[in-house]
């Protein structure tokens, strides 16, 4: 049996006549935390959305847990895949408790089980139920709302989490805090697979067990942070790493 959580084989995607992704192949193992990094328009979001079928590929195959996604019932597929985006999308008229409970309620869980799950998840994202459960989204900061988004995506206990630039709209200090939290959440929930899209090279290398660097719909390099830094394979990767080294030099100079 395959132990890959996600497997792309020669996946293609066109929008109108334009080929955005051409023959994309990669594998993500069960339990890994993968970050996807690349320039704007390189196809990161499209890649993520093809996994939960928000976007349909034009060629190739995508497998989730060893099964082609075309053969999995769409509701079943999405139930097993949590999805977090930058815009969060919490329901403004519902309390935090109700926002997190949306999917379990749809699945018909009983009230007691839902309450236990909501409390457990709020604990996990460090927003205690007693303090935050009855608040509405607008009574929370952006970073706190983003944590609710993560809790909501985890509610039905999916095996795979897709996170699309989830911390893009928060300040640098909150962002660092959220990065630490998401890393510890992944560790705590051992066995879950995370795919996390980001523009931020520091974030990608801090979070990823492996980093997938995309450029123009292709994988420029896909390896551990250490291997990429010690052995960058393409000019694009070298250029990307240079941006960091230049920043480093600037800060050293200022100190
Ligand atoms: N629904 C769509 N219709 C037409 N073109 C699209 C559509 N969605 C994406 N594209 C195009 O596909 C390319 C890849 O987009 P995608 O959003 O996957 O890139 P990205 O790497 O996530 O970019 P960013 O980092 O800016 O979010 C872009 O050129 C984009 O304009």
- Banded model confidence at residue 242, pLDDT cuts 50, 70, 90: very high
Cα three-residue angle 71-29-48, rounded to 5 degrees: 60
The ipTM (two decimal places) reads 0.94
Q: Which atom of ligand 1 is nearest the CA belonging to 48?
A: 18
CA of 155 to the centre of ligand 1 (A): 29
Q: Can you read off the two tokens belonging to residue 160?
A: 């795979």
For residue range 85-111, list pLDDT tens digits in order. 877 788 999 999 999 998 888 888 999
**Residue 97 to residue 13: CA distance in whole angstroms:** 38
Higher pLDDT, 83 or 170: 83
Strand 193-198 to strand 160-164: parallel, antiparallel, or no bridges (unpaired)? parallel
pLDDT digits (tens, 9 = 90+) for 183-228: 988 998 888 999 999 989 999 999 999 999 999 889 999 999 999 9
Average pLDDT rounded to a whole number, residues 50-78: 93
Q: How far is the CA of 125 from the centre of ligand 1 (A)?
A: 30
Q: Which option is the CATH number for 4-80+160-254: 3.40.50.720, 3.90.1150.10, 3.40.50.300, 3.40.47.10?
A: 3.40.50.300
Residue 32 has pLDDT above 60, yes or no: yes
Please identify, by atom number, the ligand 1 atom nearest to the C-alpha of residue 47. Answer: 18
Which of ligand 1's atoms lies nearest the C-alpha of 197?
A: 22
CA-closest residue to ligand 1 atom 5: 15
What is the torsional sign of CA 240, 243, 245, 251?
A: negative
Tell me the chain's radius of gyration from C-alpha atoms: 19
Q: Above 70 in pLDDT, residue 59?
A: yes
Domain range annotation of the chain? 4-80+160-254, 89-157
Per-residue pLDDT, averaged over 160-173, amounts to 85
Q: Which of 199, 214, 230 is nearest to 11 (CA)?
A: 214
Ligand 1 centre to CA of 41 (Å) is 5
Q: How many angstroms does the Cα of residue 214 sit away from the middle of ligand 1?
A: 13
Portion of the chain with pLDDT greater than 90, in percent = 62
CA 102 vs. chain centroid, Å, equals: 20
Is the CB of residue 43 below 6 angstroms from any atom belonging to ligand 1? yes
């Amino acid at each position: 049996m395959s132990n890959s959580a996600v497997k792309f084989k020669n996946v293609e995607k066109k929008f109108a006549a334009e080929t955005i992704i051409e023959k994309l192949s990669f594998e993500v193992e069960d339990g890994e935390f993968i970050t996807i990094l690349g320039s704007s328009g390189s196809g990161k979001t499209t890649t993520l959305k093809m996994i939960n079928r928000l976007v349909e590929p034009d060629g190739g195959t995508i497998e989730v847990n060893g099964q082609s996604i075309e053969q999995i019932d769409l509701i079943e597929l999405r139930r097993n895949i949590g999805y977090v985006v930058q815009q969060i999308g919490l329901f403004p008229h519902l309390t935090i408790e109700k926002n997190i409970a949306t999917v379990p309620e749809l699945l018909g869980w009983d009230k007691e089980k839902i309450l236990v799950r909501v409390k457990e998840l709020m604990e996990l994202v460090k927003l205690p139920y007693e303090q935050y459960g009855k608040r509405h989204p607008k009574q929370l900061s952006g970073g706190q709302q983003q944590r609710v988004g993560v809790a909501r995506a985890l509610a039905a206990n999916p095996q795979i989490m897709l996170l699309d630039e989830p911390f893009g709209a928060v300040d640098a200090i909150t962002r660092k805090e959220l990065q630490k939290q998401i890393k510890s959440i992944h560790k705590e929930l051992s066995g879950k697979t995370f795919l996390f899209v980001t523009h931020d090279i520091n974030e990608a290398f801090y979070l990823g067990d492996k980093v997938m660097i995309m450029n123009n719909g292709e994988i420029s390099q896909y390896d551990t942070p250490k291997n990429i830094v010690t052995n960058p394979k393409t000019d694009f990767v070298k250029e990307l790493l240079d941006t960091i080294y230049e920043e480093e030099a600037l800060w050293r100079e200022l100190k």
